[in-house]
Chain A
Amino acid sequence: MAKVVCRKHHELIQHSAPVQPMNSQPFLRTFTAPAVLCAFGFLAAMAAVLQFSFRAYIPGSLDPGGFTLANFADLLKPLYARVFFDTVWICFLTAVSTLIVGYPLAYALVRMQNAVARSILLVIVVTPLFLGEVVRTYSWIIVLGNNGFINSVLRDLGIIQQPIQFMFTTFGVVVALVHVTMPVMVIMLAAGLSHIDRDYEKAAESLGAGPIRTFLTVTLPLSMPGVVAGVTTAFAWTFSAFATPQLIGGGQVNMISNLVYQLGFASFNFPFAASLCVAGLALTIVVLSALRLAARPLENIRPH
């Protein structure tokens, strides 16, 4: 049996190889089949969401009604524009803060000589990935709350009388999101940094540049592709944040996914929730394209 199959394959390759160059990789189709299947499932789900977004909501029923544009017309209300703007703003703040905090970590991770210290650092950086978003967010509630770690310490030291409000603020949400996003950012930055040929830095140093100047004029520009990849990923990663803004934002700081949950799942208005999803997806595509366009000059930095 196996023999026949082999021969068949062999024949196929022999016969069609000159016509179809794809068959020069005989296993390509077999190996990509699962991915293609998944893609079809994903597309079907997207199509379902899309068709829901164009259908009317019938109170008291789970089945949507006929075709309507009302869901999208409703999205023009100022509230939704504000939540969309807030979402982009929170993503921006998170991506930039994560970059600032993550860069030194990634730098240390790549450049540290001591292998043990490097492993420890790697474990610390990656551990949050294993904890899950909800656990991480709950820990932040314990840290940021009115009677939480930060406020208790400040109060015991006599620095403050009244607790500082961290919960239910954009600041609190961004702090927790930075923690959630950190591992991804550090890993992408470290990948970018490790590709830099150290000879360029040595050349700069031999020409008399100090360590700061070397970093600013050689290392930093050369790490730009990593920075762009990291920021883009962090941005997209944060865009879909749900548990963190839901728990720390407490309904006062809302991102798109929170609105989808509140309006769609908590109150059964699936068509409107679907239209929010579609609009959110469109916004993600627009923002990420803009980001890519803006970063293009940085990405083309290559050693000459």
Chain B
Amino acid sequence: MKRLLLALFALAIAVPAQAQDKLVISIWGGSWRDLVAETAARKFTAETGVAVEFVTGGTIDRLNKEKLAKGSPESDITFTTSHVGWLYANDGLFEQLDVSKIPNAKNLADEARISPFHLGAWAYVYTIGYRADLMGGMKFESWSDLWKPELKGKLAAPDFDPSHVIAVAALLSGSDAARWEKGQDKLKALKPNFKAFFTNDANSQQLLASGETPVQIVLSMNAYYMIGQGVPITLAIPKEGAVLGIDTVAIMKGSKKAELAYKFINALYDPEIQAQIAKLKKGSPAVLNAKLDPEIAKLPGVFSTAAQWKQQINIDAKLRAEKTAEWRKWFAENIMN
């Protein structure tokens, strides 16, 4: 009996010791997790023999958890959106990156170099997505088309983040996101066209698929996913450019596996891996040397040259981190209610 207990005890010690040999990655669930698992994580494990474990959750849940675990992080690597990354960075949760340990990072687009703490992993755009079959031949060539009276009660936008439409309204009013107040009247004029605001990707899909809101300000990668599911969505790229979005990667401060984490990020920036990401989720590579399938490269929201990156409306991530609350509150008080 004693011997059996001893064996169990030894096993109990041995298992965690073995389990420690892994890299923990914090990311949103679902297809985002799968995307990283099938691309960079697979390559990383093949190269180092170290397994990757994912912890998943919503943007804010993960941020709060890491904030509570400050100093002894629950994960080694975090994927999050560029402006949310600034909240981590401002709170001292991210390690300052030593770019010399990520040789592949030299190919990153300028826009993907967000901060000394976090770098773009892939990109996408928020743009106008619409059901051409329900819109009677209507075309969207400019963001200003959204203001057309024919669109009354047909438009939906994300309810969690109005930054895109705020930046657009500012731009159309001859200003920019930093001086967004100039676009306030323009935004108020859009109010009659909004029919609903969606809470999450699934909600957005349901609204477009059912035709409830035939026009949406939509995330390009989600639109491609819906198209793949058989929803006939057309993505327009307005002449002013679409609103650039970047998901980023960072190493958690206090991670005991920083060296492995650098190796992982380098694998993520491998041109092949970046091309796979573009192929799987139709997002844009963050590097400029990915060899893209021409069919993928021509899609709206996929960039293969530095010039294409520059054509998009790029809201500074730090500004966005600071302004989101103010924008969201103004939007709730003046547009949504």
Interface residues, chain A, with chain B CB atoms under 8 Å away: 57, 59-63, 77, 79, 82-83, 141, 145-148, 167-168, 246-247, 250-252, 254, 259, 262-263, 265-269, 272
Docked CA distance A263–B67 (Å):
20
14 contacts between A and B (CB under 8 A): A60-B321, A61-B87, A79-B332, A79-B337, A83-B337, A168-B196, A250-B156, A251-B159, A252-B197, A254-B336, A262-B160, A262-B332, A263-B325, A272-B329
Given A79-B333, A168-B195; A145-B210 close (CB under 8 Å): yes
> Which residues, 210 to 267 on B, are CB-close (under 8 Å) to A?
210-212
* List of B residues within 8 angstroms of A148 by Cβ: 210
Q: Which of B34-80 contact A (CB under 8 A)?
A: 60, 63, 67
Determine whether B98 belongs to the interface, using a CB cutoff of 8 Å to chain A. Answer: no
Contact A265 B60 (CB under 8 A): yes
From B117-125, B180-188, B198-206, give the one contacting chain A: B198-206
In the assembled complex, the CB of A8 is this many whole angstroms from the nearest CB of chain B, namely 33
Residue of A nearest to B67 (CB): A62
Among A63, A145, A146, A262, the one with the most B-chain Cβ atoms within 10 Å of its Cβ is: A262
Taken together as a complex, chains A and B put the C-alpha atoms of A6 and B242 apart, in Å, by 76
B150 near A: Cβ within 8 Å? no
The answer, yes or no, to whether B324 is at the interface (CB within 8 Å) is: yes
Q: Assuming the A-B contacts A63-B91, A266-B159, are A147 and B60 also in contact, with contact meaning beta carbons closer than 8 angstroms in the complex? A: no
Contact of A259 among B63, B87, B326, B332 (CB under 8 A): B332
B90 CB–A CB distance under 8 Å: yes
Interchain CA distance A63-B333 in the complex, whole Å: 24
Are B160 and A62 touching (Cβ within 8 A)? no
Q: Report B's interface with A, CB cutoff 8 A.
A: 60, 63, 67, 86-87, 90-91, 156, 159-161, 195-199, 203, 206-207, 210-212, 318, 321-329, 332-333, 336-337
Q: How far is the CA of A62 from the CA of B329 in the complex (A)?
A: 17
Chain A residue nearest to B195 (CB atoms) is: A168
With both beta carbons as reference points, the residue of chain B lying nearest to A60 in the complex is identified as B322
Rounded to whole angstroms, the CA-CA distance of A267 and B327 in the bound complex is 9
User: In the docked arrangement, what's the CA distance between A57 and B324, Å?
Assistant: 12
A152, B91: Cα distance in complex, Å:
52
B323, A59: Cβ atoms under 8 Å?
yes
Q: How far is the CA of A111 from the CA of B46 in the complex (A)?
A: 69
User: What CA separation (Å) do A262 and B161 show in the bound complex?
Assistant: 9
Least CB distance from B154 to A in Å reads: 11
- Which residues on B sit within 8 Å (CB–CB) of A79? 332-333, 337
A267 x B63 contact (CB < 8 A): no
B196 with A269: CB separation less than 8 A:
no
B132–chain A nearest beta-carbon distance, Å: 17
Instruction: Give me 7 other A-B pairs in contact (C-beta within 8 A), A146-B210, A246-B199, A269-B325 excluded.
Output: A60-B322, A61-B87, A147-B212, A262-B159, A266-B60, A266-B161, A267-B329
- In the complex, which of the residues B87, B90, B197, B325 has the most CB atoms of chain A within 10 Å of its own CB atom? B325
Q: Are A61 and B197 in contact (CB under 8 A)?
A: no
A254 touches B87 (CB 8 A): no
Nearest residue in B to A138 (C-beta to C-beta)?
B206
Cβ distance B8 to chain A, nearest Cβ, rounded Å: 27
Q: Closest approach, in angstroms, between the C-beta of B229 and any C-beta of chain A?
A: 16
Q: How far is the CA of A77 from the CA of B321 in the complex (A)?
A: 25
**Residue among A59, A82, A141, A252 making CB contact with B325, cutoff 8 Å:** A59
Q: How far is the CB of B238 from chain A (nearest CB, A)?
A: 23
The 8 closest A-B pairs by CB, nearest first: A251-B197, A250-B196, A267-B328, A266-B160, A60-B322, A269-B325, A59-B322, A267-B325
Complex Cα distance A251/B324, Å? 18
Taking a contact as CB atoms under 8 Å apart, the answer to whether B210 and A60 are in contact is no
Q: Give the residue among B210, B211, B332, B336 with the most A Cβ atoms within 10 A.
A: B332
* B198 x A250 contact (CB < 8 A): yes
B212 and A269 contact, CB distance less than 8 A? no
Complex contact B90–A250 (CB within 8 A): no
Residues of A within 8 A of B160 (CB): 262, 266-267
Give chain A residues whose Cβ lies under 8 Å from the Cβ of B325: 57, 59, 263, 267-269, 272
Across the interface, B211 reaches (CB within 8 A) one of A146, A246, A251, A259, namely A146
What is the minimal beta-carbon distance from A150 to any residue of chain B, in angstroms? 13
Q: Of residues A62, A167, A263, which shows the largest number of chain B Cβ atoms within 10 Å of its Cβ?
A: A62
User: Shortest distance in angstroms between B63's beta carbon and chain A's nearest beta carbon?
Assistant: 7
What residues of A have a CB within 8 angstroms of the CB of B323 in the complex?
59
Given known pairs A59-B322, A268-B60, A268-B324, the reply for A77 and B91 (CB within 8 Å) is no
CA distance A47 to B60 in the complex (A): 21
Measured CB to CB, the nearest residue on chain A to B89 is A60
Tell whether, in the assembled complex, residue B206 and residue A141 are in contact, meaning their CB atoms are under 8 Å apart.
yes
Q: How far is the CB of B88 from chain A (nearest CB, A)?
A: 9
Q: Evaluate contact between B87 and A267: CB separation under 8 angstroms.
A: no
CB distance from A10 to the nearest CB of B (A): 36
* Closest residue on chain A to residue B63 by CB atoms: A62
- Give chain A residues whose Cβ lies under 8 Å from the Cβ of B90: 60-62
CB pair A62–B87 under 8 Å, yes or no, is yes
